[in-house]
Structure 1
Amino acid sequence: MSNITFSIITPCYKGKYLLPRAYSSILRQGCGYSFEWIIVDDFSNDNGETQAAIEKIQSESTFPINAIYLEKNHYAASSAYTGTIHAKGEYSIILDQDDMLADDALEIFSAYISSYQSLQNFAGVCGRCVGPDGRLIGTPFNWQEKLSNELNIRHIEKIRGEMFQCTKTKLIAEYFYGMKPGYTNGWAWSRIAKNYQFLYTNKIVRIYDTANPESTSNLKRLVHLDAQFEQSSEFLVVNADYLVHDQIVGIRMLIQWARVGLHLNKKYAELLKILPRSIRGLFRLAFPVALIKARHDRMIGAI
């Protein structure tokens, strides 16, 4: 049996139909690993249906499940951090309620952690995701395994698509602290990338449901604009040097950032002043598109 301990943390909101599927994927991990499941319910307002589903799973489970019920909705911003406060595992996995672990996910994570955990700046293991049809989501790595960080992988290697991390619990607790409604997990991953490395592998560790209309990634309305603008501003300022090497993605980020800024009544000159000089040229290309998108948002009532 592996001596590595895992905490699987699932942010949950109105998840009575989705949690059983995630649970089934955890059950398939086998008995050779020490793990727990922490479900953080983000104040589901469904007359107790999600809580009943969680309690039913707890009554059937052969492994420990800890359910935490938040007293108000945080739009999933504090769920991962809250989970780490209660986590007993050395490594944590953030598994959304609408996703599933690959059958051998813990086996893959455990093997790589055993090989690399002695490195001083080792954060964990990052594998790949497939959709429900089994197809890889994104660009495959052209290596079998490689130590790197999120910013290099995304903007120097130009790898696109979904990735899935198994991370030291203490790092999630440190770097996810302070997330606000409207922030994405990318805020924390990019901060971790400044100081730590992951082992990146092409092996599949998550089945990602891109078609689920209830997934937060498929929400069409723009919400928590102040927090979105704050997060994106920080990323653009701190990581501008990476975006110089990845100009297409840089322009896309600047379009979204300026689009949100326009909804907050920011002017062109005000936005330009925030940015480092190295990406102001990209911003000049992005701004006209942001204007069009912001006008369209107002037309369709997306804000």
Structure 2
Amino acid sequence: MVTGNHTTTPGFIILGYSKLMNLQGLLFVVFLVIYMVILLGNGVNVLVTVLDSALHTPMYFFLRNLSFVEIYYTSVTLPKMVANCLAEDGSISYTDCAAQMYFLLLLGGTECFLLAAMAYDRYMAICNPLHYTLIVNREHCARMVARSWLVNIPVHFGQTYLVFSLPFCGSHEINHFFCDIPPLLELSCMDTYRNKIAVFMAVLLFIITPFFLIVISYIKLSSTILKMPSAEGRHKAFSTCSSHLTVVTLYYCAGMIVYLRPKSRNSEDTEKLHSLFYTFVTPMFNPFIYSLRKRK
């Protein structure tokens, strides 16, 4: 594809930690184990919440969808990373890179809205218990999940189109573990101001807005819980929110650091580590965090 006097590269090279050639075997094992744990943990979560009729509640309906999203979210990137450790070239085609980035954004944005929906569920259960079953019914939950997907599909298609309509000239090495917007913008020889504005708007819609709704929910939750006369009741109410609050903290803190922190020349390796944290570490620990909640 040609734009102006610049030719877009037919593919890219994902660097990852390719400089650490002696550690590729270790990285292969680590990434493979992480992927298997994510598949097993989230797969068990999906299976248990489907088969156990006692878990057919709104909270576990959202958890099942969250686990489903996280299985595909990591499947977009981790298998390629595992393969790159063996092949040691990190090559990815132009089309595959675009597809990887699109589904990464789509699934990540959907997860943000699912976490907000789970906060809404806890808010209604604690702050409005008399109307909880009437308002937060199966149809309402299904609509919330569907909207979480539908609002993301067109926006991230547009984001992907904006990035891949840029000319990539000179180096085609992506200093990252996967195809993401910030490292790809660095490869373009055109002004990327329009793309950065689009990224900011997407962050505002898909990260800041759900996070703001979660914060409001927990402020109201805390106010209601602290007014409870019984210490046992307060403890029980807080325990129903602890798993979700832990997951939100892990996921959003890493995501905001990657997309909102000012860039610097010396921050590339740090950003890669942060991206690993919210992309792989939180999906790996989420099933264990919620399984602890089930045992309480």
Q: Same fold (TM over 0.5)?
A: no
Point out the structure with the larger strand share: 1
| TM value normalised by structure 2 | 0.28
| Higher RCO (CA < 8 A, seq sep 6+) | 2
Whose Rg is larger? 2
| TM value normalised by structure 1 | 0.28
